[in-house]
A and B are shown apart, each in its own frame.
Chain A
Amino acid sequence: MTTTTPPIKETAPRVSKSKPQRIRRGSVISSTGLYIATGVAAFLFLVPFYLIVRNALSTDAEITGEEWKFFPTDIQWGNISELFSDNTVPFATSLWNSTIVGVAHTVGVLLICSLAGYGLARIPYKHANKIFYLVLVTLMVPAAVTFVPSFVLVSSLGWVSSFRGLIIPGLFSGFTCFLFRQYFLGFPKELEEAARVDGLGYWGAYWRVVVPNSLNFFAAIATITFIQGWNAFLWPLVIGQDQEAWTVQVALSSYMTNQTVNFHLIFMATAISILPLVLVFLFLQRWLVQGVAQTGIKG
């Protein structure tokens, strides 16, 4: 790069003359190649989704047959009702549990962590920095690593196989609190000062001015939190000792170790367990992308 700098004057006109041509010719070839490569990658990424749909709507005979069938001869919508009337795995209960856990987890995390993040970012309490370090220290220890001690605590509280045990220990996310603090540090102070002039305290300013002006950020964190809550497996597995307290992920996992294997039911269950997230994904992708960019970079 640096070695080619001296002869700028010579090359500059030549480059500008030949540039349009070269770009056009090269770009046709390279963009065709680009689209082929991207298309192949996209195809591979979609194969698992195809398999879910195909298997969910086939009969077992079609799935396990000698010859590969690309699509079921007759689409088996009946698999849905068969799944819900199957009693070996409480799938309907687990869907309900996951819904409760997912929503409660999201609302709780957002409420508790955003308040704490605001307090740490904006309220000039003299020990705020020391307390923030206590939060930062917990970031070094991922919750998954401490599942044994957490289980010990929760089981002593008698919260095993209950919604309390599934939801409450996960609400105090140091990382989400950290993200909110970083966000609120960048929130325009003028807006809050205006609220203060209008006679609102911290609490009033927070709910009437700060939150309504931060809905994008809240939505981004909410989508990520919901996906994490819905997809969590280790903690629900540890806590859900009774079938009644299983979440969807635990139910899916149990299908893999069951004695009897009904492929069409298992894949219908998988399809249904993924559906809410695909919907969240399709309709809230803007916030999700924003949330990923925000949570990931601060990692």
Chain B
Amino acid sequence: MSTTTTRDATRPAPAKVSKTKPRRGVRGTTFNFWLFTGPFLIGLLIFVYIPILWSAWLSFYEARYTVTPDKFVGFDNYEYMLTNGDFVGSLGTFTVFAAIVVPITWALSLGLALMVHRLRFMKAFFRSVFFLPTAVSFVAASLIWKMSIFSGVRFGLMNTVLGWFGIENVAWLADPNPPWYWLVIVTLRLWLQAGFYMILFLAALQNIPPSLYEAAAIDGAKPGWQTFWYITLPQLRATSTAVILLLLVAAYQAFDEFFNLITKTTWGRPPLVELYYTALGESQDYGAGSAGAMILTALICTVTLLQGRIMGFGRGDENK
């Protein structure tokens, strides 16, 4: 394939004079553009645009057990989802989840980065240790958390450790009162993600010019809190904003650990888990499921647009 196209594009070029070249160039440009981007764009159309449009259409129909419905119901599916306690509750679950997990992950990954950055020897080793959980899937981590660390019985690690201090077994995941399951879910995500964001902070820390610290030392700033507060943190502002927004979007898509840790309950369900049971559970209600997907899409678009404002994506476009 590569040989034929190259020949087509190049063979006449030397033979003809420069006068015809621009016209050929334009035609070759169009052809080459579609040659490079065609496969991707066709796939994007079929597997991204069509599903969204189809889903938008489905969301206005009564579509149980079928994806080609004929009963138009207007905004009934939306009304159903927005007055449905489970779906609205899942948005509440997400809000609580994001409010806990985003600031803690931000602080921990920044802390780890600051520590690793200051190490003189064994730096690579510690960086690897903190980064290693990134390779583990949410499913595998859920399994370890559910069946070993936070197992509700005596032989779970946490209950064993608590037992050494004479504390009785805690049912970490079985009982929403008190909501110990948040501890399980948040520590899992922390373990899995902190290393990833630590790498981002480390890269940013390396980009802070040392002259800033030297200048501060001359000015009498004490190394420690003062330089951290007045130099490091402001210099990391761009990365911090990016990390927080990435964490927010990631929290929004949380599915794996909730699905695997908390099964067969009506509590502790984030939006995607709720959608999964609505559309693919026993009722197979694609209409309501699609309406839910549309609502979530609208929400996340809003968040992303705000993010774009804050991060200044608009400026990047002007450069282009």
Contacts and interface: CB of A to CB of B under 8 A. Distances in A.
Report the interface size class on chain A.
35 or more
Contacts of A255: 143
Interface residues of B, number: 111
Interface stretch (A82-90, A133-141, A186-194, A214-222): A133-141
B253 interface: yes
Given A51-B157, A115-B37, A200 B10 contact: yes
Contact of A41 (B41, B112, B197, B289): B112
A149 B40 contact: no
A242 interface: no
Interface string A41-62: 1100111110110010000000
Contact of B300 (A141, A148, A169, A238): A141
Contacts, number: 309
B120 A149 contact: no
Interface stretch (B83-91, B98-106, B175-183, B218-226): B218-226
Given A51-B157, A199-B14, A274 B279 contact: no
A150 interface: yes
B115 A45 contact: no
Contact of A38 (B115, B139, B154): B115
A51 B145 CA distance: 10
A29 interface: no
Interface in B236-276: 239, 242-243, 245-246, 249, 252-253, 255-256, 259-260, 263, 272, 275-276
A119 to B, nearest CB: 3
A141 B297 contact: yes
A289 interface: yes
A107 interface: no
Contact of B199 (A51, A125, A296): A296
Contacts of A143: 48
Interface in A231-264: 231, 233-234, 237-238, 249, 252-253, 255-257, 261, 263
Interface in A69-124: 112-113, 115-116, 118-120, 123-124
Given A281-B132, A289-B131, A233 B137 contact: yes
A187 to B, nearest CB: 14
A266 B10 contact: no
A207 B142 CA distance: 43
Given A46-B129, A145-B296, A252-B140, A116 B32 contact: no
A156 interface: yes
Given A4-B219, A134-B44, A299-B242, A201 B132 contact: no
A123 B29 contact: yes
B193 to A, nearest CB: 11
A297 B242 contact: yes
Contacts of B255: 144, 233-234
Contacts of A34: 115, 118-119
Residue with the highest number of chain A CB atoms closer than 10 Å, among B51, B119, B128, B142? B51
Contacts of B52: 141, 146, 149
Contacts of A113: 40
Contacts of B116: 38
A202 to B, nearest CB: 4
Nearest to A278: B135
A203 B226 contact: no
Contact of B155 (A63, A153, A174, A253): A63
Nearest to A140: B304
Interface of B: 2, 5-6, 8-10, 13-14, 28-30, 32-33, 35-37, 39-41, 43-44, 46-52, 54-55, 58, 67, 112, 115-116, 118-120, 126, 128-149, 153-155, 157, 160, 191, 195-197, 199-200, 203, 216-221, 226, 230, 239, 242-243, 245-246, 249, 252-253, 255-256, 259-260, 263, 272, 275-276, 279-280, 286, 289-290, 292-293, 296-297, 300-301, 304-305, 320
18 contacts: A4-B219, A12-B218, A31-B118, A34-B118, A34-B119, A48-B136, A141-B297, A145-B272, A146-B51, A149-B55, A149-B58, A172-B44, A202-B28, A202-B36, A230-B137, A281-B135, A292-B199, A296-B243
5 nearest A-B pairs in the assembled complex, by CB-CB distance = A119-B36, A201-B9, A149-B55, A116-B40, A149-B51
Interface of A: 1-2, 4-5, 8, 11-12, 15, 31, 34-35, 37-38, 41-42, 45-49, 51-52, 55, 63-66, 68, 112-113, 115-116, 118-120, 123-125, 128-129, 131, 134-135, 138-153, 155-156, 168-169, 171-172, 174, 177, 199-204, 206-207, 227, 230-231, 233-234, 237-238, 249, 252-253, 255-257, 261, 263, 266-267, 270, 273-274, 277-278, 280-281, 285, 288-289, 292-293, 296-297, 299
